[in-house]
């Protein structure tokens, strides 16, 4: 790959997440600036543990196909590699294969031929248990407890890869790198690091570019175009009305990070303490001074396990007498439900194996113990009852048994039978299917940077099928 005799390297970050909706005009405009590669993140834990646990992507297939098609065609037009990481939201093997199927359709429809590196990031449980035994799985802060049974009970565990597996794929001639779970910044840092650009700048460029136009002053339709030289990153958007400002770029390093200065990657930490941000023109910002500290190699693990099956009931309460004593009233409702469950389902379900949670919208449902306003009572309260049990059938029955007590549980203020709960639906019970929980906040210490990841090369061509 020619990088102007390594004077600078340029890349496009077309969108914050594959499926988010690439602005194709802006992509064309940026493509005319002779980029050396296109990279895009496709995953996140932001939506919760379900995608990882269940093996289901978070974006609609059509949206992923449209964006992937735009990127792969742009890559072929400019003869530059396209790198996709954290495929299918969670970056498990099933997620990677889902995106691969979409890519097959795209190459067939557009008569493309792509030397494709598929890098799987899902972890073998026996391998992880060996690492655990050797004290080579370390907790981050805070971390849930880890044991062989936590590893076994997780439905899927992925390792977040660094630049090394991507670099190997590029060095072996990949036009298209389709990676499982991967550090967002690594997708953009891999090629600049191969060409000897300063690690602090390469990583920081990835960090500020990976969310697409979120780094701009105001979010809008466009792409990010980033250039790295030996002493500076310059970052700018293409897209109507978009601009990067020193403040917008500096502030972006805060977003979704617990520490604004230090960002841990597999091979070390990039340190933005001494970074400076200056306007180059109205829309472009120059960054200098970012550093990288090499540290012992670690790979972050993400795991999700089945928490149970869930059914819910949605409704509301308007009666001021009930709202005034909602907490104690719901405690009464709960005991009543617990008692009927014990009578009717006691053989199948003991109290420790199910959960009933009332989310009381209007009273602390959103902030719980953080709620500063403990005084004001609303005129209306929304209630979501969540019943979780080991099977969907039991969760459904739990919710069914909850409806009558919610409707009719008495209060002292009214004599006779009341109906205190305004049920939204009939049937009242909505089955939500399986629900998952995150099981790990740990890093693994592998022997090599690539041993946790499996790379397969295929020629993804029009005639391949």
Partner 1 sequence: MVLADIATLIRSKNAGPFILTFDILFADLASYRRVKDSGALNPAAFAKLYRCPIEKVRFFECENALAFKFSIPRPLTQGELGDGDMHGGQQFIPLINLEIP
Among 1, 34, 143, 331, binds partner 1 (CB under 8 A): 143
Among 7, 142, 171, 379, binds partner 1 (CB under 8 A): 142
Nearer to partner 1, 218 or 417 (CB): 218
Nearest to 123 by CA among 93, 143, 168: 93
Q: How many beta carbons lie within 10 A of that of residue 427, not counting itself?
A: 12
Among 214, 307, 407, 422, binds partner 1 (CB under 8 A): 307
Among 24, 257, 400, 404, binds partner 1 (CB under 8 A): 257
Among positions 337-376, residues that touch partner 1 (CB under 8 A) are 355, 357, 359, 365-372
Nearest to 155 by CA among 88, 56, 86: 56
Site string for partner 1, 43-72 (x = CB under 8 A): --xxxxxx----------------------
Q: Is 390 among the residues that bind partner 1 (CB under 8 A)?
A: no
Site string for partner 1, 88-127 (x = CB under 8 A): ----------------------------------------
Residue 100 contacts by C-beta under 8 Å, 6 or more apart in sequence? 87, 116, 118, 178
Q: Is 260 among the residues that bind partner 1 (CB under 8 A)?
A: yes
DSSP 182: B
Nearest to 438 by CA among 138, 46, 18, 94: 46
Q: Is 251 among the residues that bind partner 1 (CB under 8 A)?
A: yes
Sign, CA dihedral 342-346-352-358, equals negative
Q: Is 256 among the residues that bind partner 1 (CB under 8 A)?
A: yes
> Least distance in Å: CB of 50 to partner 1?
7
Nearer to partner 1, 78 or 443 (CB): 443
Among positions 152-191, residues that touch partner 1 (CB under 8 A) are none
Point out which residues pair with 157 in neighbouring strands.
Answer: 303
Nearer to partner 1, 109 or 278 (CB): 278
Nearest to 442 by CA among 157, 87, 76: 157
Nearer to partner 1, 7 or 258 (CB): 258
DSSP 121: -
Contact 116, 84 (CB under 8 A): no
Structure tokens at 126: 């026996």
Contact 429, 399 (CB under 8 A): yes
Contact 178, 96 (CB under 8 A): yes
**No. of helices (H) and no. of strands (E), the chain:** 13, 21
Among positions 196-215, residues that touch partner 1 (CB under 8 A) are none
Nearer to partner 1, 113 or 307 (CB): 307
Nearer to partner 1, 370 or 417 (CB): 370
Nearer to partner 1, 14 or 315 (CB): 315
Q: Is 327 among the residues that bind partner 1 (CB under 8 A)?
A: no
> Least distance in Å: CB of 432 to partner 1?
12
Q: Using the rule CB under 8 A, give the single segment among 141-149, 180-188, 216-224, 230-238 that binds partner 1.
A: 141-149
Contact 418, 392 (CB under 8 A): no
Point out which residues pair with 234 in neighbouring strands.
Answer: 227, 286
Point out which residues pair with 310 in neighbouring strands.
Answer: 388, 433
Among 5, 141, 375, 416, binds partner 1 (CB under 8 A): 141
How many alpha carbons fall within 13 Å on the CB side of residue 287?
Answer: 35
Among 140, 331, 344, 377, binds partner 1 (CB under 8 A): 140
Taking the C-alpha atoms of residue 111 and residue 105, their distance in angstroms, rounded to an integer, is: 10
Nearer to partner 1, 15 or 249 (CB): 249
Contact 458, 129 (CB under 8 A): no
Chain contacts with partner 1 (rule: CB under 8 A) = 45-50, 140-144, 247, 250-251, 253-261, 275-277, 307-308, 355, 357, 359, 365-372, 386, 388, 435-438, 441
């Amino acid at each position: 790959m020619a990088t102007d005799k390594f004077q600078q390297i340029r890349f496009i970050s077309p969108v914050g997440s594959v499926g988010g909706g690439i602005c194709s005009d802006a992509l064309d405009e940026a493509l005319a600036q002779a980029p050396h590669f296109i990279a895009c993140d496709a995953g996140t834990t932001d939506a919760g543990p379900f995608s990882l646990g269940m093996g289901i992507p978070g974006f609609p297939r059509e949206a992923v196909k449209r964006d992937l098609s735009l990127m792969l065609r742009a890559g072929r037009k400019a003869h530059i590699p396209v790198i996709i990481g954290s495929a299918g939201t969670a970056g498990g093997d099933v997620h990677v294969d889902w995106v691969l199927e979409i890519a097959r359709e795209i190459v067939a429809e557009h008569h493309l031929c792509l030397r494709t590196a598929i890098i799987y990031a899902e972890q073998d449980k026996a391998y992880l248990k060996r690492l655990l035994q050797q004290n080579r799985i370390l907790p981050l802060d805070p971390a849930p407890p880890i044991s062989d049974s936590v590893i076994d009970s997780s439905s899927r565990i992925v390792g977040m890869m660094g630049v090394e597996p991507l670099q190997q794929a590029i060095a072996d001639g990949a036009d298209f790198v389709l990676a499982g779970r991967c550090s967002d910044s690594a997708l953009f840092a891999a090629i600049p690091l191969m060409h000897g650009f300063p690690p602090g700048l390469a990583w920081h460029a990835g960090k500020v570019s990976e969310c697409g136009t979120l780094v701009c002053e105001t979010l809008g339709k466009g792409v990010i175009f980033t250039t790295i030289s030996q002493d500076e990153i310059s970052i700018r958007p293409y897209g109507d009305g978009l601009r990067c400002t020193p403040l917008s770029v500096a502030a972006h390093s805060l977003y979704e990070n617990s520490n604004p200065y230090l960002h841990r990657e597999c091979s070390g930490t990039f340190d933005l303490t001494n970074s400076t941000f200056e306007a180059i023109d109205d829309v472009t910002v120059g960054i200098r001074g970012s550093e990288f500290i090499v540290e012992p190699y670690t790979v972050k693990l993400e795991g999700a396990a089945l928490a149970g099956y869930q059914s819910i009931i949605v409704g509301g309460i308007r009666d001021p007498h009930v709202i005034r004593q909602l907490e104690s009233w719901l405690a009464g409702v709960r005991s009543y439900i617990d008692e009927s469950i014990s009578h009717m389902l006691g053989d199948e379900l003991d109290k420790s194996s199910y959960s009933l949670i009332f989310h009381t919208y209007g009273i602390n449902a959103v902030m719980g113990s953080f709620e500063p306003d403990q005084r004001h009572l609303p005129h209306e309260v929304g209630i979501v009852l969540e019943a979780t049990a080991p099977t969907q059938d039991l969760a459904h029955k739990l919710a069914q048994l909850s409806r009558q007590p919610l409707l009719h549980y008495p209060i002292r203020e009214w004599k006779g039978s009341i109906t205190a709960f305004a049920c939204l639906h009939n049937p009242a019970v909505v089955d939500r299917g399986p629900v998952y929980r995150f099981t790990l906040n740990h890093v693994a210490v592998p022997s090599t940077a690539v041993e946790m990841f499996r790379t397969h090369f295929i020629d993804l061509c029009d005639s391949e099928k």
